[in-house]
Amino acid sequence: FFVFFSVSMAGGDKKKKKTKKGGNNEEGKALMAKRIGYEDMTLMENMTLDGVLSNLKDRYVEDLIYTYTSSILVAINPYKRLPIYTDAFVKQYKGVRLGKLPPHIFAIAETAYTAMIQHERNQSVLVSGESGAGKTESTKLILQFLSARTGRSSGIDKMVLASVPVLEAMGNAKTGRNDNSSRFGKLIKIQFDDDYYIIGSTMEHYLLEKSRLIFQAPGERNFHIFYQMTNGMSKEDKERYSLREAEYYNYINKSGCMTVDGMDESKELQEFREALALFDITGDLEHQMFCILASVLHIGNITFKAEGEGCALDGPDAQKELEITAELLGLTAEDLLFAISKKEIKMRSEIITKPLNAEQARNQGDALAKHLYSVLFDWLVSQLNGCTHAETYKQFIGVLDIFGFEVFTKNSLEQFLINFANEKLQQFFNNQIFKLEQVIYEQEKIDWSIIEFKDNQECLDLIEQKRPPGIISILDEESKFPRATDETFVEKLTSNLSKHANFEIPRLSRGKFNVKHFAGEVSYEVDGWREKNRDELPEHMLRILGQSKNLFTAILYSPEEIADPKGITGKSPFARRQAKKEAAGRESPRAGVTSPRSGMTSPRSAVAVGQAAKKGASKLTLGTQFKNQLQNLMDLLGSTEPYFIRCVKSNPQKIPNNFDDKLIYDQLLYAGMLETIRIRRLGYPIRWTHEDFFKRFRVISPQVAQTKNFRECAEKLALTLDMNMP
Ligand SMILES: Nc1ncnc2c1ncn2[C@@H]1O[C@H](COP(=O)(O)OP(=O)(O)OP(=O)(O)O)[C@@H](O)[C@H]1O
Ligand SMILES: [Mg+2]
């Protein structure tokens, strides 16, 4: 699935050979030489959504997938490899102004790069679109271009390129819409030095879809890595992690989908490991990582049955899985069983232990699996950042590859937060488009006060406002309040928000509320929101994990790191190794489970920095954390010069040469294309050059002489027609 480049693709050997042998540059050149329809749709006489659609179709059938609307690039997924991404194309677009050559994603990357140098300002590229539209592939193409464009093939280029597929193994999965769907959002900042060579990169990630770990809809899969391990590992490795065939594991065997067409799991795993090695994840560290990954799979098979007031392991298989998991996590089977099947209640000065019933224990096991995986994912991102980030740099180009607007049959907290992010991005987009329009009006010395523009601030207030409280604040209150229920949550929403124009409680259905988003109305179901929003493991589980004999597990859960989350970046690989060495010398006390987390000494280590930062912040709820993250993102984007790439899915069958009018129309509608058109309509929607205007209407007043100054000619002509020329 490392479609466009694996570690070796961008400027690497494999690619060079292919270009030489395949000679596909000629094909690419011939393709791009075709002139079909409007390359920039702002030049269309009357810009309507239908007009836009038919222009895009005319071009798409000729394999011209890129089209501009001013500096916004529309990219339609071709579902086939086009020969237009070779080094020859990088060279062709290098140093060329936007619009001079046919539309291409490289042209946007080039524009951002040159603007960064000329304006000495940070740049950003916002890649958006629905699942399967091509956001991640576009992101990779931008990285590929920038890496090849800047021409100095340093180790860091290679690492920046490799970081994307590393995270894909753990953060991507097959869904109904995309065989390689990113189940997290990301912002990659490519850092440049004084000479504008790539000197480093950092990555921020958003909302990993943890619920996928324990449940996948029919036909979908869990994250790729689990199949790479069960189907792709050698016999010895599988024995090392006590792994059996994929079908055995509850977390992956329920959706009826185990494989992806054309995916070779052992090859993928090998590539993943090779890429990990670039980031210092080899030997014992790699082994520890696989221990945690394997433990997640095993936890799903620790099943329970009712017994007395509580529950017991459901037979010898469950017992065996408990033992394997405990071993992998460096715990005793007894401690792990306690962690999963009991709860602790604090009563003033003492802690009382209570058994859970079978269903509750199963849920607690699921919570553990989700927590382990997400902590590992955070750690991995911070490990990559630790290896790639540059302490000092001159400027950056940020590339944002983030989930599009989502509406499912059942919409939960995840969809709500994703749609909140899209409201934010839409507002940013609108403001930018409005600003762009303003610049044109100012250049032409036209009064632009005629454009009164209303954005989606109201909907954003509904979601994120603190006082009076919006949805997130109310959810936070209800998440902290011990006696809150789904009903009290909905009641509070109703009493606070029922007058809001974008909010509605649907009649006849309980536990639901509706939000009118810019892209349509969505009905949300509130069950499980408060637990998800709290986003934490019970205290006793954290304590037990922190006492693991397995150094890596213990450090991921170490309380000192949790208390002091500073230093997320800034560690060199050497400092990390040093810290690891120090860490290796420490004792691992086996404290009684009822004692507080005492006796832990945890040296500062970059192994823990990602988790530490996350945990330090995790006293905040998921909703508030995400809200803050989004605000930081908006501040960052606001300080850059932004470019927009609107990816469009061509058809649901995921096949080449198939333009599904309805599907594409709907995407254009919600991709802000309508907003662009609307803002244009509010002002002067039809724009012709003076020359075109004069030549077209001169027949009406042939007495007006043609000179070289078409502005003057047009003015004279307009006067004879009794028209005002702005
Ligand atoms: N420019 C392109 N050329 C060829 N194929 C492409 C291109 N862009 C996308 N594809 C194809 O479409 C598939 C889906 O694209 P991609 O994974 O980038 O979608 P996405 O928008 O990131 O979706 P998600 O939100 O699910 O992560 C790719 O695996 C690839 O097969
Ligand atoms: Mg993606």
DSSP 574-613: HHHHHHHHHHHT-------TTS-S-S------HHHHHHHH
Confidence class for position 722, pLDDT limits 50, 70, 90:
confident
Confidence class for position 574, pLDDT limits 50, 70, 90:
very low
Q: What is the pLDDT of residues 170-180, one digit of tens each?
A: 999 999 999 99
The CB of 144 under 6 Å from ligand 1? The reply is no
Amino acid 604: pLDDT:
29
Q: Do residues 172 and 223 make contact, with C-beta atoms less than 8 angstroms apart?
A: yes
Tell me which residue has tokens 């809809």: 217
Whose Cα sits closest to atom 8 in ligand 1?
134
Kindly report the backbone phi and psi dihedral angles of residue 656, in degrees, each rounded to the nearest multiple of 5, phi listed first: -75, 165
Q: Which of 344, 345, 301, 304 is nearest to 323 (CA)?
A: 301
Amino acid at 189: K
Q: Which of 398-402, 457-461, 596-600 has the lowest mean pLDDT?
A: 596-600
Q: Which of 188-197, 442-451, 577-586 has the lowest mean pLDDT?
A: 577-586
Task: Considering only residues 442 and 419, tell me which one the structure prediction assigns the higher pLDDT.
Answer: 419
Q: Do residues 129 and 667 make contact, with C-beta atoms less than 8 angstroms apart?
A: yes
Kindly report the backbone phi and psi dihedral angles of residue 394, in degrees, each rounded to the nearest multiple of 5, phi listed first: -90, -50
132 is in an annotated binding site: yes
Task: Considering only residues 21 and 111, tell me which one the structure prediction assigns the higher pLDDT.
Answer: 111
The CB of 647 under 6 Å from ligand 1? The reply is yes
Amino acid 269: pLDDT:
97
Among candidate residues 122, 128, 138, 181, the one labeled active-site is 181
Tell me which residue has tokens 């869990």: 222
Task: Considering only residues 173 and 433, tell me which one the structure prediction assigns the higher pLDDT.
Answer: 173
Tell me which residue has tokens 């011990």: 482
Task: Considering only residues 397 and 698, tell me which one the structure prediction assigns the higher pLDDT.
Answer: 397
Confidence class for position 2, pLDDT limits 50, 70, 90:
very low
Q: What is the DSSP letter of 344?
A: E
Q: Is the pLDDT of residue 485 over 50?
A: yes
**Can you tell me the distance from the alpha carbon of 546 to that of 615, in angstroms, rounded to the nearest whole number?**
13
Q: What is the pLDDT of residues 73-97, one digit of tens each?
A: 999 999 999 999 999 999 999 999 9
The CB of 176 under 6 Å from ligand 1? The reply is no
Confidence class for position 195, pLDDT limits 50, 70, 90:
very high
**Can you tell me the distance from the alpha carbon of 182 to that of 186, in angstroms, rounded to the nearest whole number?**
9
Residue 621 three-state SS? coil
The CB of 365 under 6 Å from ligand 1? The reply is no
Q: Which of 454, 431, 424, 432 is nearest to 517 (CA)?
A: 424
Q: Which CATH class is domain 227-237+246-288?
A: mainly alpha
Among candidate residues 39, 323, 344, 406, the one labeled active-site is 406
The strand ranges marked E within 57-170 are 66-69, 72-76, 123-128
Q: Provide the sign of the torsion angle of the four alpha carbons 592, 597, 598, 602, taken in this order.
A: positive
Q: Do residues 414 and 209 make contact, with C-beta atoms less than 8 angstroms apart?
A: yes
Please confirm whether the linkage preceding 603 is cis (ω < 30° from 0): no
131 is in an annotated binding site: yes
130 is in an annotated binding site: yes
Q: What is the pLDDT of residues 306-350, one digit of tens each?
A: 999 999 999 999 999 999 999 999 999 999 999 999 999 988 889
Amino acid 81: pLDDT:
95
Bridge pairing between strands 181-182 and 172-173 = antiparallel
Amino acid 588: pLDDT:
32
The CB of 79 under 6 Å from ligand 1? The reply is yes
**Can you tell me the distance from the alpha carbon of 623 to that of 613, in angstroms, rounded to the nearest whole number?**
17
The alpha-helical segments, DSSP class H, found in 151-305 are: 155-171, 224-232, 235-240, 265-278, 283-299
> Distance between alpha carbon 712 and the CA centroid of its chain, in Å?
51
Q: Is the pLDDT of residue 515 over 60?
A: yes
Q: Do residues 342 and 355 make contact, with C-beta atoms less than 8 angstroms apart?
A: yes
Tell me if residue 181 is catalytic.
yes
Amino acid at 244: R
The CB of 78 under 6 Å from ligand 1? The reply is yes
134 is in an annotated binding site: yes
Q: What is the pLDDT of residues 36-58, one digit of tens each?
A: 999 988 778 777 889 999 999 99
Amino acid at 399: V
Question: Mean pLDDT of all residues in the chain?
Answer: 86
Among candidate residues 131, 153, 255, 332, the one labeled active-site is 131
Q: Which CATH class is domain 413-526?
A: mainly alpha
Amino acid 438: pLDDT:
79
Question: Stretch 17-21: mean pLDDT, rounded?
Answer: 38
Domain ranges of the chain: 28-216+390-407+640-679, 227-237+246-288, 413-526, 690-720
The strand ranges marked E within 618-672 are 641-648
Amino acid 616: pLDDT:
44
Task: Considering only residues 267 and 560, tell me which one the structure prediction assigns the higher pLDDT.
Answer: 267
Site to probe by mutation for ligand 1, drawn from 137, 184, 401, 402 as the one with most ligand atoms within 8 Å of Cβ, is 137
Whose Cα sits closest to atom 29 in ligand 1?
180
Q: Is the pLDDT of residue 556 over 70?
A: yes
Tell me which residue has tokens 């109201």: 458
CA 567 to ligand 1 centroid distance, Å: 35
Find the ligand nearest to 173 CA: 1
Q: Is the pLDDT of residue 7 over 50?
A: no
CA dihedral 248→250→253→255, nearest 10 degrees, is 170
Amino acid at 261: D
Confidence class for position 681, pLDDT limits 50, 70, 90:
low
Q: What is the pLDDT of residues 127-150, one digit of tens each?
A: 999 999 999 999 999 999 999 998
The CB of 651 under 6 Å from ligand 1? The reply is no
- Residue 534 is encoded by which pair of tokens? 């709290």
Amino acid 685: pLDDT:
64
Q: What is the DSSP letter of 706?
A: P
CA 75 to ligand 2 centroid distance, Å: 14
Confidence class for position 433, pLDDT limits 50, 70, 90:
confident
Q: What is the pLDDT of residues 620-665, one digit of tens each?
A: 999 999 999 999 999 999 999 999 999 999 999 999 999 999 999 9
How many CB atoms are closer than 10 A to CB 656? 14
CATH topology of domain 28-216+390-407+640-679: Kinesin (3.40.850)
Q: Do residues 484 and 526 make contact, with C-beta atoms less than 8 angstroms apart?
A: no
CA 462 to ligand 1 centroid distance, Å: 33
Secondary structure of 543-564 in HEC code, one letter for each residue:
HHHHCCCCHHHHHHCCHHHHHC
Question: Stretch 248-256: mean pLDDT, rounded?
Answer: 97
Tell me if residue 132 is catalytic.
yes
Task: Considering only residues 386 and 569, tell me which one the structure prediction assigns the higher pLDDT.
Answer: 386
CA 564 to ligand 2 centroid distance, Å: 33
C-beta contacts of 483-489 below 8 A and 24+ residues apart: 484/530, 486/511, 486/526, 486/527, 486/529, 486/530, 487/511, 489/526, 489/529, 489/530
**Can you tell me the distance from the alpha carbon of 235 to that of 581, in angstroms, rounded to the nearest whole number?**
31
**DSSP string covering 265-308, please?**
HHHHHHHHHHHHHHTT--HHHHHHHHHHHHHHHHHTT--EEEET
**Percentage of residues in the chain having pLDDT higher than 70:** 86
Tell me if residue 131 is catalytic.
yes
Q: What is the DSSP letter of 678?
A: H
**Can you tell me the distance from the alpha carbon of 535 to that of 257, in angstroms, rounded to the nearest whole number?**
29
Whose Cα sits closest to atom 16 in ligand 1?
134
Amino acid 349: pLDDT:
87
Tell me if residue 479 is catalytic.
no
Q: What is the largest CA-CA distance in the chain?
A: 103
Amino acid 589: pLDDT:
28
Q: Is the pLDDT of residue 238 over 90?
A: yes
Task: Considering only residues 69 and 250, tell me which one the structure prediction assigns the higher pLDDT.
Answer: 250
Residue 216 three-state SS? coil
The CB of 260 under 6 Å from ligand 1? The reply is no
Confidence class for position 549, pLDDT limits 50, 70, 90:
very high
Confidence class for position 709, pLDDT limits 50, 70, 90:
very high
C-beta contacts of 41-45 below 8 A and 24+ residues apart: 41/67, 41/68, 41/69, 41/74, 42/68, 42/69, 42/70, 42/680, 42/687, 43/687, 45/686, 45/688
Question: Stretch 530-536: mean pLDDT, rounded?
Answer: 93
The CB of 131 under 6 Å from ligand 1? The reply is yes
Task: Considering only residues 698 and 324, tell me which one the structure prediction assigns the higher pLDDT.
Answer: 324
CA 429 to ligand 2 centroid distance, Å: 20
Confidence class for position 24, pLDDT limits 50, 70, 90:
low
In terms of C-beta density within 10 A (0-12 exposed, 13-18 middle, 19 or more buried), how is residue 75 classed?
buried
**DSSP string covering 499-533, please?**
T-TTEEPPTT-TTEEEEEETTEEEEEE-TTHHHHH
Confidence class for position 726, pLDDT limits 50, 70, 90:
low
Q: What is the pLDDT of residues 201-220, one digit of tens each?
A: 999 999 999 999 999 999 99
Q: What is the pLDDT of residues 463-484, one digit of tens each?
A: 999 999 999 999 999 999 989 9
Amino acid 559: pLDDT:
56
Confidence class for position 412, pLDDT limits 50, 70, 90:
very high
Site to probe by mutation for ligand 1, drawn from 136, 209, 221 as the one with most ligand atoms within 8 Å of Cβ, is 136
Amino acid 26: pLDDT:
87
**In ligand 1, which atom is closest to the CA atom of 401?**
22
585 is in an annotated binding site: no
- Categorise residue 291: left if φ over 0, alpha if ψ from -120 to 50, beta otherwise: alpha
The CB of 665 under 6 Å from ligand 1? The reply is no
Tell me which residue has tokens 């911070």: 382
Q: What is the DSSP letter of 133?
A: S
CA 679 to ligand 1 centroid distance, Å: 30
CA 173 to ligand 2 centroid distance, Å: 10
